[in-house]
Amino acid sequence: MLSLATVSAGYGSFQALFGVSLDVARGEAVGVIGPNGAGKTTLMRVISGILPMRDGTMSIEGREIGGLPAHRVVEQGIAHVPENRRLFPRLSVEENLRIGAFIPSARARFAEQLDWVYQLFPRLKDRRNQLAGTMSGGEQQMCAIARALMSKPKVLLMDEPSAGLAPIVVQQVFELAHRIRAEGLTVLIVEQNVQQVLDVVDRAYLLEVGSIKLSGTAAELKGNSFIREAYMGL
């Protein structure tokens, strides 16, 4: 479904990704774990086209997307829930969702998609006229995910959905991730919360200093002694 081969990227003279290759199959949930500064967010930004790729190839369903600007990548079926949610704080919840359905194919199905995300997240329906910036962190994360779903993506990218949230809310966010999986979406999720993300995904990659160091099924990684020591504190 989503395929990256030897992708490199960086900012100015700083190189953040060194030949990263990864694959996500249809209907699969894949995690990318790793420490702060490993390049996880950069990887997400490169896939969604906010940051230009320097080298390598990237495709969705066999169509090349490397080099496309962000607003064209969405049209290819990739939606990105950015780090720290990045809602439009002075737009209402429903206006945020409307922006999520900006691309022509999504506009045509706006009412239908809106029903679907309200069904997934009933809380958002109660708050639909509230300014997004005035909601709690967990509700904002819900809204950010819903906004991405409004474009009816084939692949959902989630960047650190648990970042900056209270532990009990983190639990709820991972429940949201389960719910999205149950809808049959293909998901690529970046997390520092290794223990919990491995409960949600089928497979995961370990990214360290801009390269993939390890990969395997969630069960394999949970049993890996290096991962257990370095990332799960066991």
Partner 1 sequence: MDIYLLEAIINGILLGGVLALLALGLNLIFGVIDVIWICYADIVMCGMYAIFFLYTQYNVPLPLAFLIAIIGVAGLGVLVHLLIIAPVLDSAPINQLLATGGLLFFLQSFATLLFGTDFRNIGVRLPVLEIATMYVSFARLIAFAVALIGAVVLYVFLKRTYIGTAIRAVAQDREIVGLMGVDQRRIYLVVSAIGGALAGLSACLLALQYDVHPYIGNTFGPVIFMICVLGGLGNMIGGFVAAFVISQIIAIGGYYSSTELSYVFAFTFFIVLMFIRPRGLFAP
Residue ranges binding partner 1 (CB under 8 A):
48-50, 69-71, 74-75, 79-80, 82, 86, 88-91, 95, 98-100, 102-103, 106-107, 147-148, 151
Residue 14 near residue 8, CB atoms below 8 Å: no
Residue 1 near residue 10, CB atoms below 8 Å: no
List beta partners, residue 203. 30, 217
Write down the residue that tokens 């922006």 correspond to: 99
Q: How many CB atoms sit inside 10 A of residue 29's CB?
A: 23
* Least distance from partner 1 to the Cβ atom of residue 171, Å: 26
Residues 6+ apart with CB under 8 A from 144: 81, 82, 85, 86, 87
* Least distance from partner 1 to the Cβ atom of residue 101, Å: 8
Nearer to partner 1, 31 or 82 (CB): 82
Nearer to partner 1, 44 or 177 (CB): 44
Nearer to partner 1, 89 or 223 (CB): 89
* Least distance from partner 1 to the Cβ atom of residue 92, Å: 10
Nearer to partner 1, 92 or 224 (CB): 92
- 3-state percent breakdown (helix, strand, coil) of the chain, nearest 5: 40, 25, 30
Three-state secondary-structure class, residue 31: strand
* Least distance from partner 1 to the Cβ atom of residue 147, Å: 7
Nearer to partner 1, 28 or 159 (CB): 159
Nearer to partner 1, 98 or 228 (CB): 98
Torsion angles phi and psi, residue 151, rounded to 5: -85, 5
* Least distance from partner 1 to the Cβ atom of residue 106, Å: 8
Q: How far is CA 16 from CA 30, 77, 216, 228, in A?
A: 21, 25, 23, 25
* Least distance from partner 1 to the Cβ atom of residue 86, Å: 5
